[in-house]
Amino acid sequence: MQQKGWGIFFGVVLLAAFLSIAVGPLVGWWLPANVSSFGPDVDYLYYVILGFTTFFFLLTEVLLVWAMYRFAGRPGNKSQYVEGHHRLEMLWTVVPGGILLYIAIAQISAWERIKYQAKMPDPDLVMQVTARQWDWTMRYADTPLPENHRRWAEIPNFDDIYLPDELHCWKGANVRIYLKTNDVLHSLFLPQLRLKQDALPGKTIPVWFNATDANTRFNASTGNCEWTDKNKEWEIACAELCGGGHYRMRGLLYVHETKDDYLNWLKHAQKAARSRQPEKKATPVAAKD
C-alpha cells in the first residue's frame, strides 16, 4: 500500500498544477484583453494548441499516475515480459505526427498575415518608433499618412512630432510602425495587440496592427488624454534584454475612438511641439496624501 502512495503523490501534484492553470481565467491570470484585428487568430491558435496539449497532458499523466498506482511492485511479483509493440509504436507515431502537422499548417496563414510584409494592409496611419536605452521615441508626421511613407520613415522631417513613450492611433486604423533602434536590440511588445517585434540596429522593420477597441478620450480643454475605462490602460513593454533599464521601457497605447479624435489630439500635440512661448500652466498639486 505504501508503494501505491507514490502514484497518489504524483497525481496530487500534477492535478494541482493542472488546476492552477485551469482556474487562471477565473482569477485574472490569463491572456490580457485582445484588441487586435489579428489577435483572434493568435488566440484561436493558442486555444487549439492548448486543447491538444491539455489532452495529451491529461492522457500521459493519467496513464503515468495510474500505472504508478496500479503496477506498484510487490515482492515476488514479476512484470510482464514485453519487448515492444510494433503497431502501438506506429499508432503513437502517426497520430501525434498528424496532429503536429495539422498544428504546424494551421499556423502558417496567421503568421503570414501578421508578419509578411507583402501581406500587410495599406496603412491609414504611419509612425516611426525608435527604441533607445531606455524609452521609446514615437515620431509622428504632421498628417496620419505622409506621402511615400517608406521614405518618410528613413528621412526625418522638419514637421515631425516626437513623443516619448506614447503611441496614439484610432480604432480601426491600419497602423504601420517603422521600427528602429538607436542602440542595442529592443523588442516592441504590445500584449493587448498580440504584437511583438525586435528592433534591429541598422534596419528598419515594418510592423502593423489594427486596434479594434478604443480606450482614450481626448480632452481638448486640458490637453490630456483620458482613459475611457480604468481597466483599459494598455501598455507597451520591451521584450528583448537591452541592459539595466530593460524593465522600465514602459509606454502607453492610446487608441482614440475616431480619426477626428486622433486629428484633434494631433493638432494639440503639434502645437505643444512647436511651442514658442513658455507654458502658462498652473503647477499642479504637490504631494500625494
Partner 1 sequence: MSSAVSFARMVRVLALAIPCLLPLLSGCDLDSYPAELTYPLRSDPIVTSPPGSTRWDTTAPGQLDMHIAHLSDPEVGGKTLDPAKLPAKERGELERALNEIFGTPATPKVFLKDADDEVKSRIQDLKLDDKTLAHGSIVYRRHCMHCHGVTGDGRGPTGPWINPTPRDYRQGLFKFMSTAVEVNNRKPRREDLRRTLEHGIEGTSMPSFSLLEEAEKEALVSYVIHLSLRGECERYTMEPILDGSGLEGSVREKVVELLGDFLHAWANSNAKGIEPGAYPYKEGDLQASIRRGFQLFTDPRGSASCINCHVDFGRQAPFRYDKWGTLVRPANLTAGVYRGGRRPIDIYWRIRGGIDPSQMPRADFGDQAAHKEQWRNNADPYWDLVNFVQALPYPQMLPEDVRDSIYGRRHEKTEHAQR
Partner 2 sequence: MTQVVYERPQEHMGMPLPTPKVAMWLFLVTEIMFFTALIGTYIVLRHGTPAQSPFKWPAPHQVHLIEWIGALNTFVLICSSFTVVLAHHAAVKADMKKATSYVAITLALGGVFLGIKAYEYNSKFQHDILPGHIGESLPYPAKGGGDNDLKAIEREKHEHATGMQYFHRVQLQLEAIKKSSIDAEIQKECNALLDAMTATTAAEGQAVAFHRPPSPAEVGERVNEILEKAEKKGVTLHLTPAIPFGNLWASCYFAMTGFHALHVLGGVVVFAIILLMAVIGRLGPQHSTMLELVGLYWHFVDIVWIFLFPLLYLV
Partner 3 sequence: MSVSHSHSAEAHAHHELSFLRKYIFSEDHKIIGIQFLFSGLIFFLIGGTLALLVRLQVGFPKGINLPWFPISWGGRMSPDFYAMVFSMHATIMIFFVIIPLLTGAFGNFTIPLMIGARDMAFPKLNMMSYWFMWPAFAVILSSFFVEGGAGASGWTSYPLLASATMPAGEGFHSPASPHSGIGQICWLVALLFVGVSSMMGSINYMTTIINLRAPGMTMFRMPMTVWAMFITAILQSMALPVLTVALILQLLDKTINTTFFLPPGGMAFGNWHTGPGGGQTLLWQHLFWFYSHPAVYIMILPAMGMVSDIISTFARKHLFGYKPMVLAIAGIAGLGFIVWGHHMFQSGMDPRLGTGFMIATIMIALPSAVKTFNWLGTIWGANIQYTTAMLNALAFVAMFVIGGLSGIFMAATPVDVYFHDTYFIVAHIHYVLFMSSIFGIFGGIYYWFPKMFGRLMNEKWGKVHFVLTFLFSNCTFFPMHIIGIAGHPRRYYDSTLYRFLDNVQPLNQFMTISAFLLALAQIIFLVNFFWSLFRGAKAGANPWHSNTLEWTAPSPPPHGNFVQTPIVRRGPYEYGNPDMEEDYLPQAEPQPSGIPAPAH
Cβ distance 41 to 193 under 8 Å?
no
51 part of the interface to partner 3, by CB under 8 A: no
**Closest CB to partner 2 among 3 and 157?**
157
Residues of span 144-173 touching partner 2 by CB under 8 A = 151, 154-156
Q: At closest approach, how far in Å is the CB of 72 from partner 3?
A: 5
Interior angle at CA 141, CA 140 and CA 145, nearest 5: 110
Q: Which does 275 bind (CB under 5 to 8 A by kind): partner 3, partner 1, partner 2, none?
A: partner 1
List Cα–Cα distances, 69 to 2, 17, 59, in angstroms: 10, 19, 15
Q: At closest approach, how far in Å is the CB of 245 from partner 3?
A: 6
**Closest CB to partner 1 among 78 and 276?**
276
Cβ distance 197 to 117 under 8 Å?
no
Q: Is 216 exposed, middle or buried (0-12, 13-18, 19+ CB in 10 A)?
A: buried
Q: At closest approach, how far in Å is the CB of 148 from partner 2?
A: 9
List Cα–Cα distances, 260 to 88, 170, 176, in angstroms: 64, 9, 18
CA dihedral 217, 220, 222, 225 (to 10 degrees): 30
Residues of span 156-185 touching partner 1 by CB under 8 A = 156-158, 162, 164-166
Task: Kindly give the interhelix angle for 5-22 and 39-70, rounded to the nearest 10 degrees.
Answer: 170
Cβ distance 153 to 204 under 8 Å?
yes
Residue 71: all three cell numbers together = 503496477
Could you say which of 128, 152, 240, 256 contacts partner 3 (CB under 8 A)? 240
92 part of the interface to partner 3, by CB under 8 A: yes
Q: How far is 187 from 144, CA to CA, in rounded Å?
A: 24
Q: At closest approach, how far in Å is the CB of 224 from partner 1?
A: 10
Q: Which does 130 bind (CB under 5 to 8 A by kind): partner 2, partner 3, partner 1, none?
A: none
Q: At closest approach, how far in Å is the CB of 18 from partner 3?
A: 9
**Closest CB to partner 1 among 116 and 158?**
158
**Closest CB to partner 1 among 124 and 166?**
166
Q: At closest approach, how far in Å is the CB of 159 from partner 2?
A: 15
61 part of the interface to partner 3, by CB under 8 A: yes
Number of amino acids touching partner 3 (CB under 8 A): 105
Residue 162: all three cell numbers together = 516626437
Three-state DSSP class for residue 146: coil
Number of amino acids touching partner 2 (CB under 8 A): 4
Please count the CA atoms within 13 angstroms of the CA of 260 that sit on its side-chain side: 0
**Closest CB to partner 1 among 105 and 286?**
286
Please give the backbone phi and psi of residue 176, each rounded to the nearest 5 degrees, phi first. Answer: -115, 125
Q: How far is 149 from 180, CA to CA, in rounded Å?
A: 15
107 part of the interface to partner 3, by CB under 8 A: yes
Binding mask 229-248 for partner 1 (x = CB under 8 A): ---------------xx--x
Interacting residues toward partner 2 by CB under 8 A: 151, 154-156
